[in-house]
Amino acid sequence: GQQVMQIPQYQHVQEGEDFTTYCNSSTTLSNIQWYKQRPGGHPVFLIQLVKSGEVKKQKRLTFQFGEAKKNSSLHITATQTTDVGTYFCAQSSNDYKLSFGAGTTVTVRA
Amino acid sequence: GAVVSQHPSRVICKSGTSVKIECRSLDFQATTMFWYRQFPKQSLMLMATSNEGSKATYEQGVEKDKFLINHASLTLSTLTVTSAHPEDSSFYICSAREGVAVGYTFGSGTRLTVV
């Protein structure tokens, strides 16, 4: 499947601060999905973006799809301890397979 | 919402033995399920696509004779790790998508340790 590159690999955040994780592809993506995996848990679907320039919000989480559909970002404001985990972007192909990015593991300092 | 149940959650087995992992869609039918492997602090790597009533399709580099997949019904897929070795120790996760749902639902995963 298509390769999606994700940075940073680790994000150490002070509670209350904001952070962003980025997902990039060398080719145009048909869609991008975001998942969250808590430590010791399994991935949980957060959202899918399909349209160029699309922006979607879920409370303190803002997801964006680039105009060229080659990149996406997840921005979290006012980080809380409940935000701890690994955030993955993933691309769903025509045969319904998911290709995951490397993930951004977030830790929060209280 | 859609629920995927995976068992067992943890298993320890001896080298050379086989281990079966079950993945069930509890409240929906899944003609297709996916099996992933995740090593510590790494991403999920797709191993194979499980197709109800037909052979599974395996990703490049995954040994089909070692990782046997059976999808005998619309709600159950099994992954059997045959002749397990310590390097097979990993976190195995299945997933499925309900009908026209957008996202995929994952099982809770199986942590396999081969000693």
Q: What is the pLDDT of residues A27-41, one digit of tens each?
A: 999 999 999 999 999
Distance from CA of B48 to the nearest CA of A (A): 9
Give a three-class secondary structure readout of A15-33: CCCCEEEEEECCCCCCCEE
Chain A residue at shortest CA distance from B6: A42
Q: What is the pLDDT of residues B5-37, one digit of tens each?
A: 999 999 999 999 999 999 999 999 999 999 999
Predicted confidence at residue A96, as pLDDT, reads 85
Counting one residue from A and one from B, how many pairs have CB atoms under 8 Å apart? 47
Q: For A73-85, what is the mean pLDDT?
A: 98
Q: For A77-106, what is the mean pLDDT?
A: 94
Higher-confidence position of A94 and A67: A67
Predicted confidence at residue A86, as pLDDT, reads 98
Using a CB–CB cutoff of 8 Å, tell me whether B32 touches chain A: yes
Distance from CA of A43 to the nearest CA of B (A): 6
**What average pLDDT is seen over chain A?**
95
User: pLDDT at residue A93 above 90?
Assistant: no
Using a CB–CB cutoff of 8 Å, tell me whether B93 touches chain A: yes
Using a CB–CB cutoff of 8 Å, tell me whether B71 touches chain A: no
Regions in chain B scoring below 50 on pLDDT: none
Predicted confidence at residue B100, as pLDDT, reads 84
Predicted confidence at residue B70, as pLDDT, reads 94
Predicted confidence at residue A90, as pLDDT, reads 96
Using a CB–CB cutoff of 8 Å, tell me whether A102 touches chain B: yes
Using CB atoms, which residue from A33, A100, A102 is nearest to B103? A33
Q: Which of A2, A32, A45 to mutate to test the interface with B (most CBs of B within 10 A)?
A: A45
DSSP string, B79-115: EEE-S--GGG-EEEEEEE--TT-SSPEE---EEEEE-
Predicted confidence at residue A3, as pLDDT, reads 80
Predicted confidence at residue B7, as pLDDT, reads 98
Chain A residue at shortest CA distance from B38: A42
Predicted confidence at residue A2, as pLDDT, reads 56
d(CA A82, CA A18): 14
Q: What is the pLDDT of residues A36-55, one digit of tens each?
A: 999 999 999 999 999 999 99
d(CA B51, CA B23): 13
Distance from CA of B35 to the nearest CA of A (A): 10
d(CA A36, CA A63): 13
Using a CB–CB cutoff of 8 Å, tell me whether A51 touches chain B: no
Using a CB–CB cutoff of 8 Å, tell me whether B107 touches chain A: yes
